[in-house]
């Protein structure tokens, strides 16, 4: 009888823990592209983009999808996307030609609103509100490329003040997540020869740079691939994309220019990260699986071996979505 009671108690606790752990609910899509661009608007509306010029969206939580090729550009990889609602979205290519397209009719037509030169490579996009947005690009002629819009993506200009890179410093377009913005500052993180955090202060119009000594660096495949803001801090993840299960130097927490080393890091190279303010926890994804943290990035627990490229919190903050290879998209149950 004691053994039976113990088993009921053990499996009751175990089942309760499983029920509390987040789980991915994979959704069936009509495409097979590698989807690194992801922009959920709500628990019903989500856009994605990726290889082969692919775009797709759902307006019913993933039950049905619309999809197509941006302006017939099936040779491009649109790794960055930002959706405003079910009708309006912008996409930016990774590679050549370096172009930004806008749709205002739900993807039926796409208008090219910006193009850069032959050395340009777009890495990330982020918006402060419905009007002000930013695109990050690799360095050109000794300066980082940062573009901005003040009219919802209809036109783009170069940032008036641009920071300088170190030789071999790079940004990564693995999930369009290496740049974030709030009302006070614009930030982007890098890798390659060095891992650094570049911060632009909107009040005094100046850039500051923080060396990220706790992040892996020194090789083209190493560095920061994504970051998320939470409670006045930034949580950065990455690693070495050639070593998918390597945990060395793959995450750090930044607060008031102080580096905090996690006690338990994510379980491998991670290309995306998202923060749920509603549930007060973080989710990180990569090709080798997914992890969550309920203590603001200090410790991480692996909850899935399913690989994804990107993970994003919806604009209304009510849901978390992920995208990956083979046209895979999932929504988190938590």
Measured CA to CA, the distance from residue 53 to residue 71 in angstroms comes to 8
- pLDDT of 256 reads 82
- Its sign, for the CA torsion 248, 23, 282, 82, is positive
What average pLDDT does range 300-325 have in this prediction?
97
CATH of segment(s) 33-151 = 2.130.10.10
- pLDDT of 2 reads 43
Q: DSSP strand E in 150-255: where? A: 157-158, 169-170, 179-181, 185-189, 191-192, 196-201, 206-211, 222-230, 233-240, 251-255
**Contact present, 128 and 142 (Cβ < 8 Å):** no
Is the domain spanning 176-308 CATH 3.90.1300.10? The answer is no
Angle ∠(36,39,40) on CA atoms, nearest 5: 130
User: Which pLDDT band holds residue 7 (cuts at 50, 70, 90)?
Assistant: very low
200-239 pLDDT, tens digit each: 999 999 999 999 999 999 999 999 999 999 988 999 999 9
Rounded to the nearest integer, the mean pLDDT of the chain is 94
- pLDDT of 151 reads 98
- pLDDT of 35 reads 98
State which H helix or E strand residue 4 sits in: helix 2-20
Q: Same topology for domains 33-151 and 176-308, yes or no?
A: no
Measured CA to CA, the distance from residue 106 to residue 129 in angstroms comes to 19
What average pLDDT does range 42-50 have in this prediction?
98
User: Which pLDDT band holds residue 188 (cuts at 50, 70, 90)?
Assistant: very high
User: Where along the chain do its domains lie?
Assistant: 33-151, 176-308
- pLDDT of 21 reads 85
- Backbone phi, psi, residue 57, to 5°: -155, 155
Residue written as token pair 């309920």:
294
**SS3 of the chain: helix, strand, coil, percent, to 5:** 10, 45, 45
pLDDT at 181 over 70: yes
User: Which pLDDT band holds residue 8 (cuts at 50, 70, 90)?
Assistant: very low
86-142 pLDDT, tens digit each: 999 999 999 999 999 999 999 999 999 999 999 999 999 999 999 999 999 999 999
Nearest Cα to Cα of residue 309 among 289, 291, 293: 289
What average pLDDT does range 14-41 have in this prediction?
84
- pLDDT of 278 reads 85
- pLDDT of 13 reads 38
- Its sign, for the CA torsion 264, 270, 276, 279, is negative
User: Which pLDDT band holds residue 159 (cuts at 50, 70, 90)?
Assistant: very high
């Amino acid at each position: 009888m004691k053994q039976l009671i113990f088993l009921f108690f053990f499996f009751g606790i175990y089942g309760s823990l499983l029920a509390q752990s987040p789980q991915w609910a994979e959704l069936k899509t009509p495409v097979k592209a590698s989807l690194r661009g992801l922009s959920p608007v709500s628990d019903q509306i989500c856009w994605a983009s990726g290889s082969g010029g692919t775009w797709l969206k759902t307006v019913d939580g993933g039950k049905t999808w619309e999809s197509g090729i941006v302006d017939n550009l099936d040779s491009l990889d649109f790794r960055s996307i930002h959706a405003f609602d079910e009708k309006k979205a912008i996409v930016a290519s990774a590679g050549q030609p370096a172009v930004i397209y806008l749709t205002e009719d739900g993807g039926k037509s796409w208008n090219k609103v910006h193009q850069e030169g032959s050395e340009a490579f777009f890495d990330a996009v982020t918006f402060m509100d419905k009007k002000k947005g930013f695109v990050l690009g690799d360095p050109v002629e000794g300066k980082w490329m940062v573009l901005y819009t003040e009219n919802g993506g209809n036109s783009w200009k170069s940032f008036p003040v641009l920071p300088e890179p170190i030789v071999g410093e790079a940004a990564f377009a693995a999930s369009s997540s290496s740049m974030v913005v709030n009302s006070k500052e614009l930030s982007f993180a890098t890798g390659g020869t060095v891992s650094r955090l570049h911060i632009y202060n909107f009040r005094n119009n100046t850039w500051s740079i923080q060396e990220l000594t706790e992040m892996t660096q020194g090789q083209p495949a190493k560095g920061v691939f994504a970051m998320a803001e939470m409670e006045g801090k930034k949580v950065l993840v990455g690693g070495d994309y050639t070593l998918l299960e390597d945990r060395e130097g793959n995450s750090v927490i930044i607060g008031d220019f102080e580096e905090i080393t996690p006690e338990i890091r994510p379980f491998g190279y991670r290309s995306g990260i998202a923060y749920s303010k509603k549930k007060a926890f973080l989710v990180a994804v990569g090709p080798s699986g997914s992890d969550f943290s309920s203590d603001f990035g200090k410790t991480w627990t692996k909850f899935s071996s399913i690989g994804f490229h990107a993970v994003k919190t919806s604009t209304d903050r009510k849901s978390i979505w992920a995208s990956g290879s083979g046209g895979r998209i999932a929504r988190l149950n938590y």
